[in-house]
Amino acid sequence: MADALASGPTVRERVRWSDVDKMGVVYYGRYLRFMEAAEAELFRALDFPYDTLSDELGVWIARVRVELDFRAPSRLDDEIVCRALVRKVSGSSFTLAFPIDRGDGVRLAEGVLVLAALDRETLRPARLPSALSRALRGG
């Protein structure tokens, strides 16, 4: 599984009407939709879908920082290719990078999410469960 995660799970989506603005290009906030899909696939590939995190490990994973650098426009019906790559893992948080390309390989945007563990009951910061931390580190 570590080899599959080295390049990150790949999500392929099409740009839909609801993704474009008046100019006919993808509205910048819509790139978060593609990042969210790749994040979910990463957790699934690690065998930690969201309900496992909350129900079995007792944590919620909260997004605490979002960055997005826009590189090129994308238009209606373009194929979007997004991957989630683990960049850093610490005691209570981790950082994911999201290269977002058009189907022809043109880099459209680069996103970063910092995610943190919260205790499911108190919603206070918590350490990442050790099994999740190991999985994120590729071990």
CATH number at residue 31: 3.10.129.10
pTM attached to this predicted model: 0.90
For residue 6, give its domain range.
2-136
Q: What is the mean pLDDT of residues 91-108?
A: 97
| Residue 136: Cβ-neighbour burial (10 angstroms; 0-12, 13-18, 19+) | buried
The answer to whether residue 2 scores a pLDDT higher than 50 is no
For the chain, the domain total comes to 1
Residue 1 pLDDT > 60, yes or no?
no
Average pLDDT over residues 45-65: 91
